[in-house]
Amino acid sequence: MARDEATLRYRTRLRLVALDGPEEELRQAHLGILIALAEDLGEAVELYRLARGIPVMIERADPPGRTVAVRARLGHTRPPSVLDACAIMLLAERGQQPPESLQIESADGLRSQVAGEGLRAVAEARREGVASDLAVNANGIRRHVVPIRLAGGILGGLIAVAQDARGAGHEARAQVIRSALRNALARVPA
């Protein structure tokens, strides 16, 4: 266990990882961006690497002085059966369409896709460069995601802002977050 002086959080892992491996390189390369976004937006910001095509959270920066409603912790995987912002971005990056069998997490639990909403979300992610959850989840969170591209344009991971979407004005706030994420791409090292 060690305290990360940048995030002031204690880190502990229950698996063996090489401290100089690709996961740690990805984390170190993007930690400053995570912290800056968390401070600027007042929301939790998450970093995901891809493990066999499935996003696994390897870092999270919480806004200073604020308790967040996010329950996902380091090591959390985004379920491949759910059409969330991470899945939408992965489909957009791979040039694929969402299978109708993928479900959408909402405040009322999992629900089926409605009349091509997954297709529209993937097309929008391709066009805009940012993907968003199609609904606010049961914890009041809506994620917005951008891809991390490594040298040669290879998809290396995802950065997600976990927006607290409870209360009025969350749609306008989502636009601010999406814009901040697009702008953060310019600061992401290649």
* pLDDT per residue as tens digits for the range 112-162: 877 788 999 999 999 999 999 999 988 889 999 999 988 888 898 999 999
Alpha carbon 127 to its chain centroid, in Å, reads: 18
Name every residue whose Cβ is closer than 8 Å to that of residue 60 and which is 6 or more positions away in sequence: 34, 44, 45, 46, 47, 70, 72, 73, 74
Domain span including residue 69: 22-185
**How far is Cα 94 from Cα 147, in angstroms, rounded to an integer?**
11
Cα 6 to the center of its chain, rounded Å = 20
> Helix (H, G, I), strand (E, B), or coil: what is residue 141?
strand
Q: Give CA–CA dist 128/41, Å, rounded.
A: 20
| Sequence-ordered alpha helix ranges (H) in the chain | 22-41, 85-94, 117-128, 170-185
> Tell me, what CATH number does 64's domain have?
3.30.450.40
In a domain, 180, yes or no: yes
What parts of the chain have a pLDDT lower than 50? Answer: 13, 15-18
Cα gap 95→132, rounded to integer Å: 17
* Number of structural domains the chain divides into: 1
Answer yes or no: is 146 within a domain: yes
**Per-residue model confidence as pLDDT tens digits over 129-141:** 999 999 998 888 9
